[in-house]
Structure 1
Amino acid sequence: MGKIFFYVALALVLVSGLVFAPEHAGLAIHPMDQFQVKPLFGGDHVGMFTVTNVTLWMLLAIVAIFALLVLGSSRRAIIPSRAQSVAELAYGFIYKMVEDVAGKDAVKFFPYIMTLFMFIVTANFLGLIPMSFTTTSHFAVTGVLAVVVFVAITVTGFVLHGAKFLALFWVSSAPLALRPILAVIEVISYFVRPVSLCIRLAGNIMAGHAVLKVFAGFAGALGFASFLPISAITAFYALEVLVAFIQAYVFTILTCVYLKDALHPSH
C-alpha cells in the first residue's frame, strides 16, 4: 500500500512538472493575477452593472448560506443531520458571542451579526476551492462591510443616546489636563475602525492566497523536486483553513465590541 501511494505521488509530481512548467527558462509566477476582476460575459470592460467573477462568487456564498441555514435545518429533526448540526452550532456560537461581548440588550442585533459572520466565513472557505475567486480578498468588498458596520453602529449610538454618545470620546477617569488630548486620540481611533476592519480581513486573505500561488508556481517549475513546495502547500493550506475562520471571527467579535460602545458609550 505504501509503495502504491509513493508511485501515485511521484506520478502526480511528474504530471505537474510537465503541465505547469513555464515555457521559458526561469520562474514566471504571477501570484496577484488570481485577484483580477473579470467580466463573465464578453469584453474586458468592467462597469458599474457588469456581472463579474466577484458577482458570481458572492452569489454562490449567498446560495451556500441559504442551503445550510434554511434547507439544511428545515426538517428540525430531534436527531439532527450534519447540515442541521453545523447550522445550530453556528447559531449558538454567534448568539453566545453577541450576548457575552455586547450584552443581552445587543441580542436584537443578532440577525445582522449572524448574517455578517456567515457571509464572511462562507466567502473565505469558498475562496479555498481551486480555481475559485476569493471575494473577501478585495478591499471594495471588505470596505463596504466595514463602512456599513461603522455607520450602523454610529447611527445606533446617536439614536439611543443623542449627544450623550459623545461621552465615548471623553475619558472621565483621566486627569482633567489629559482629557482633551485623549479625546482627540479617541476620535481618531474611532474613525480608523472601518479602515482597520477592511484592511485586516482583505490583507490576511490576499496574503495567504498569494503565498499559495507562489508555492504552486514552484511546484510546476521544479519537476522532480516539486514534492518540496507541494509539502509546503499542504501545510500552508491547512493554515489557510484556520485563517479563513479566524478572520471571520475577528471581524465579527470586533463588530460586537463596537456595538457595545454604541449601547454603553460611557468609559
Structure 2
Amino acid sequence: MADAAPGEIVIKPFDQFIVKPLFGGTEVHWYTITNVTLWMALAVLCVVGLFVLGSRGRAIVPSRSQSIGELFYGFIYKMVEDIAGHDGVKYFPYIFTVFLFIFFANFLGLLPMSFTTTSHIAVTAVLGFGVFIIVTVIGFVKNGAGFLGLFWPSEAPMALRPIIAVIEVISYFVRPVSHSIRLAGNITAGHAMIKVFAGFAAIAAVAPLSVVAIAAVYGLEVLVAGIQAYVFTILTCIYLKDALHPAH
C-alpha cells in the first residue's frame, strides 16, 4: 500500500516480488547482488546448517536436527527408489539437493520482510530446465537411440503412432515450462493473496475478517510450501524413470 491519497487504499500485491540491489542503486545486472541472491544464499545455508552442522555428530541416538535430516533423507530416498527404481538411486543426491533448496526457499519466503525466490520464474526455470536437460542427457547416455522409443508407443495401432508421437514430443518439451511455472505460479498466487488481504486490514469495518483471511491463507501457504517442493521432486523422479526405462 503506497502513494495513496487521503481516504484511498492502494494495494500493490506484486511489489513484494521486485528484485532490488542490496547495496544501493536501482539497476540490476547479472553480477548485482540482490535480495534474490541473499535469500537463495540463506536457503543454501539452511541446508548446510541442517545436514553438515546439525548432523556432524552422527550419533547413534540422534539429536533433534539429525533426526529431522534423517527424516528428509529417508523420505526422498524412498520416493526416488519407488518411482525411478534401483537404477535411479545413483541420482538421489541431485534430486535430494533440489528438493531441499526448494523446500527451504519456500519456507523462508513465509518469514516477515523476507523475499520468496521461488516466486520468480527466472529461478524456477533454471531448476526446471536443469532437470529437463539432465534427464534428457541421461536418457540418451543410458539408452542411445532407444530413448526415442519414449515417443513411439509400440502398443498403439500403426495408423495412430505418428499422431501420438507428435503429441508425445510436444508434451515432452512442454515439461520444463510446466515444471517451472507450476512452482512459481503457486507460490506467487498465495503471497499475493496475503498482501491483498493485508491491504484491506486498514479498513476498520473489515479488519477482523481480513486478519482471519490472512491467517487462513498463511496456513494454506505453509502447506503449499511443502507440497510444491514435493510435487517438483516427484515429477523429477517420474521424468527420470522415463529416461531410464523409456520402453515402460
Q: TM range, normalised to the smaller chain? A: over 0.9
Match of 1:178 among 160, 166, 190: 160
Match of 1:239 among 192, 206, 220: 220
| Residue type of the alignment partner of 1:68 | L
2:9 aligns with: 27
- Corresponding residue for 1:40? 22
Q: Offset of 1:23 from its aligned partner? A: 5.5
- Provide, for residues 19-53 of structure 1, a one-character-per-residue CA deviation record: whole Å limited to 9, x for no partner: x9x66213211000000000011210000100000
Match of residue 180, structure 2, among 198, 202, 209? 198
Distance 1:224 1:249 in 2: 39
Q: Which of 103, 119, 129 in structure 2 is aligned with 1:137?
A: 119
Q: Give the match for residue 146 of structure 2.
A: 164
Residue 144 of structure 1: SS of its match in structure 2? helix
CA distance in 1, matches of 2:174, 2:72: 29
Q: Deviation digits for residues 191-222 of structure 1, max 9, x if unmatched?
A: 00000101000000000000000011111x11
Counterpart position of 2:231: 250
1:112-164 alpha-carbon deviations (Å, 9 max, x no partner):
00000000010000000011000000000000000110000000110111111
Contact 2:200 2:206 in 1 (8 A): no
- What residue identity is the alignment partner of 2:236? T
Distance across 1 between alignment mates of 2:12 and 2:66 = 41
2-structure distance, mates of 1:49, 1:216: 34
Q: Which runs of 5+ in 2 are unaligned?
A: none
Is the aligned partner of 1:119 residue 2:101?
Answer: yes
Say if 2:24 is the partner of 1:56: no
Paired amino acid for 1:135: T
Q: Give, in whole Å, the separation in 1 of the partners of 2:204 and 2:89.
A: 55
1:259 corresponds to which residue? 240
Q: Report the 3-state secondary structure (helix = DSSP H, G, I; strand = E; otherwise coil) of the residue aligned with 1:73.
A: coil
Equivalents in 1 of 2:107, 2:126: separation in Å?
Answer: 20
Residues 47 and 101 in structure 2, CA contact (< 8 A), matched pair in contact too? yes
Matched, 1:148 2:130: yes
Determine which structure has greater relative contact order: mean sequence separation of CA pairs < 8 Å that are 6+ residues apart, divided by chain length: 1
Matched, 1:99 2:69: no
1:75 aligns with 2:27: no
Residue 65 of structure 1: aligned partner: 47
Counting aligned pairs with the same residue, the percent is 68
- TM normalised by structure 1 equals 0.90
Displacement of 1:224 after TM fit? 5.8
The match for 1:87 among 60, 69, 73 is: 69
Matches within 5 A, 1:202-217: 202-217=184-199
In structure 2, the residue matched to 1:218 is 200
Give secondary structure in 2 for the equivalent of 1:176.
coil
| Structure (1 or 2) with the greater helix fraction | 1
Report the more deviating stretch, 77-86 or 203-212: 77-86
Once the two structures are TM-superposed, the CA of residue 81 in structure 1 deviates from its matched residue by 1.9
Kept after mapping to 1: 8 A contact 2:197/2:210: yes
Provide TM-score, normalisation by structure 2. 0.97
- SS of corresponding position for 1:31: coil
**Cα distance in 2 between the residues matched to 1:23 and 1:238:** 33
Gaps of 5+ in 1: 1-19
Aligned length: 248
